[in-house]
C-alpha cells in the first residue's frame, strides 16, 4: 500500500533528538528541572526517557550539538515545555507556525519578520493572521543570545519548538536538523500564494505538497496534525450555510455533525459580533495528539474541505484508514514527514538574526 521511508540521522546538518517508534502517552512536566544540565552545557537528557519501554535501543544515540551552543536543545526544550504545560493550546500553534514557515520560501523563519512601511510581511497575510506562538520563539532566542550569541538561527528555534511542543510524549518524536539560516525576505503575497488552503480539493492539495518536495504520504500524515487545535467558523461558514450558493450545506459532512457546527457558527457576524468561534478540528479529542482525527475523517467529520478531500482519493482514503488503526505507524510516519518538511531549504542568502522579527 505504502512504505515508510527510512530517516537517516547521518545526512545533512546536525540532528537533535531522535525518532521514537513507540512513544508513550502521558503529560510532560513544564517546570525547568534541567537547568543544571543547561549550565553544564549538556544538551540532551540522559536519565530515563528511554527506560522501561521493553524495546531495543538500536536507534538511541547522542547527536552532536550545534557548534558554539551545546546548551541549545536543553534551553529550547525547557522553555517550550514550560510554556506548553502552562498553556496547552500552544502545542498546535507551534506546529502550525513551523508548517506555515516552511511552506513559504522554505524553513527560514521568514514568517517571524515584521512588516515595514514598504513591505507587507508573511505574518500579515490573511492565512497567517491567526498564527500564534511567536512569544515562545522570542523567549528561546533571548536566552540563547545570552548563552551563545549569534549561534542559533530563528528558523532552527521554530523547528525545535514545534517538535518539543509535543510534551505529552515526554521525549523527542522526530530528529530536528540544525543549521538553517534565517531569510531576509518576507512577503504576504507569497504566503497567500504558497500556503495550502482549507478550501482546496485533493488534486490541488497534493500538488501544493509536491511543489515543496513532499508526497502523498506526507500529505496524509501531516494532515494528522489536525488532531490537536482549533479552527474557526469563518473558514467553514460557506460550507455550512451556502455551499453551492443556494443556502445549502456541504453534503459530505455527516448530518448530525453538520447540525452541531451550524449551531456553533449561527451567530457569526450577527449583531456586529467580531468573535469568530473556535471549533475543535478533531471533535471530542482536540487536546490529545493521537489518531482520532482519522476516525473523525472516516465518519465524515472533517472540519475543513481540505480534510474531507482526503476521502475523495482512494490512495489517501486507504492510508487514512491505516493510520487510524495503527497509532504507532502514524507517529512514525508523522515524524518522518516532519523531518522532510523541516528540510525544505530557504530561498536566497541567509543569516542568523539577532532579533527574530527584523533582519540584521
Tell whether the model's pLDDT for residue 87 goes beyond 70: yes
Q: How far is CA 63 from the centre of its chain?
A: 23
Tell whether the model's pLDDT for residue 144 goes beyond 70: yes
Q: Give the CA dihedral 164, 168, 170, 173, nearest 10 degrees.
A: -60
**Model confidence band, residue 195 (pLDDT cutoffs 50, 70, 90):** very high
Q: What is the pLDDT of residue 269?
A: 60
- Half-sphere exposure in the Cβ direction for 287 (13 Å, CA): 7
Q: What is the pLDDT of residue 349?
A: 73
Which residue among the candidates 15, 44, 100, 292 is catalytic per the annotation? 100
Nearest to 64 by CA among 114, 133, 103, 15: 15
Q: What is the pLDDT of residue 275?
A: 78
Residue positions in the annotated binding site? Answer: 101, 104, 106, 108, 110, 122, 196, 226-227, 282, 290
Average of per-residue pLDDT values in the chain: 84
Q: Which three cell numbers stand for residue 65?
A: 550539538
* Sign of the alpha-carbon torsion through 226, 230, 236, 240: positive
Residue positions in the annotated binding site for substrate? Answer: 196
**What are the pLDDT digits (tens) for 199-244?**
999 999 999 999 999 999 999 999 999 999 999 999 999 999 999 9
Q: With 0.85 as the threshold, say if the pTM is over it.
A: no
**Model confidence band, residue 51 (pLDDT cutoffs 50, 70, 90):** very low
Residue positions in the annotated binding site for heme b? Answer: 226
Active site residue 292: no
Of residues 208 and 45, the one with the higher pLDDT is: 208
Q: What is the pLDDT of residue 268?
A: 75
**Model confidence band, residue 348 (pLDDT cutoffs 50, 70, 90):** low
Tell whether the model's pLDDT for residue 83 goes beyond 50: yes
Helix-helix angle 90-102:154-164, to 10 degrees: 140
Residue 43 CA to residue 193 CA, distance in Å, equals: 38
Output Rg (C-alpha) for the chain, integer angstroms: 20
Of residues 275 and 180, the one with the higher pLDDT is: 180
Average pLDDT on 118-144 reads 97
**What are the pLDDT digits (tens) for 233-280?**
999 999 999 999 999 999 999 999 999 999 999 877 655 556 789 999
Amino acid at each position: 500500500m505504502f512504505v515508510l521511508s527510512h530517516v537517516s540521522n547521518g545526512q545533512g546538518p546536525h540532528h537533535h533528538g531522535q525518532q521514537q517508534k513507540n512513544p508513550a502517552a502521558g503529560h510532560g512536566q513544564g517546570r525547568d528541572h534541567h537547568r543544571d544540565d543547561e549550565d553544564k552545557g549538556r544538551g540532551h537528557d540522559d536519565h530515563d526517557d528511554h527506560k522501561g519501554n521493553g524495546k531495543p535501543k538500536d536507534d538511541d544515540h547522542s547527536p552532536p550539538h550545534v557548534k558554539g551552543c551545546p546548551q541549545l536543545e536543553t534551553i529550547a526544550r525547557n522553555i517550550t515545555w514550560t510554556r506548553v504545560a502552562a498553556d496547552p493550546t500552544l502545542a498546535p500553534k507551534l506546529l502550525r507556525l513551523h508548517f506555515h514557515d516552511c511552506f513559504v520560501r522554505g524553513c527560514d523563519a521568514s514568517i517571524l519578520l515584521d512588516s515595514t512601511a514598504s513591505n507587507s510581511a508573511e505574518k500579515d497575510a490573511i492565512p497567517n493572521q491567526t498564527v500564534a506562538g511567536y512569544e515562545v520563539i522570542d523567549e528561546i532566542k533571548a536566552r540563547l543570545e545570552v548563552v551563545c550569541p549569534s549561534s542559533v538561527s530563528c528558523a532552527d528555534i521554530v523547528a525545535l519548538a514545534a517538535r518539543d511542543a509535543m510534551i505529552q510524549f515526554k521525549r523527542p518524536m522526530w530528529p530536528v536538523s540544525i543549521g538553517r539560516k534565517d531569510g531576509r525576505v518576507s512577503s504576504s503575497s507569497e504566503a497567500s500564494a504558497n500556503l495550502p488552503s482549507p478550501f482546496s480539493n485533493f488534486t490541488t492539495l497534493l500538488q501544493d505538497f509536491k511543489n515543496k518536495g513532499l508526497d502523498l504520504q506526507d500529505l496524509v500524515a501531516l494532515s494528522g496534525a489536525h488532531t490537536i487545535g482549533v479552527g474557526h467558523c469563518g473558514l467553514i461558514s460557506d460550507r455550512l450555510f451556502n455551499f453551492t450558493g443556494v443556502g445549502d450545506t456541504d453534503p459530505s459532512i455527516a448530518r448530525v455533525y453538520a447540525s452541531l457546527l451550524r449551531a456553533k457558527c449561527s451567530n457569526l457576524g450577527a449583531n456586529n459580533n467580531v468573535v469568530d468561534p473556535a471549533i475543535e478540528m478533531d471533535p471530542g479529542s482536540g487536546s490529545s495528539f493521537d489518531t482520532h482525527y482519522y476516525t473523525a475523517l472516516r465518519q465524515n467529520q472533517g472540519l475543513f474541505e481540505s480534510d474531507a478531500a482526503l476521502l475523495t482519493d482512494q490512495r489517501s482514503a486507504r492510508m487514512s484508514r491505516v493510520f487510524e488503526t495503527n497509532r504507532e505507524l502514524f507517529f512514525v510516519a508523522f515524524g518522518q514527514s516532519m523531518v522532510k518538511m523541516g528540510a525544505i531549504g530557504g530561498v536566497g542568502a541567509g543569516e542568523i538574526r539577532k532579533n527574530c522579527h527584523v533582519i540584521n
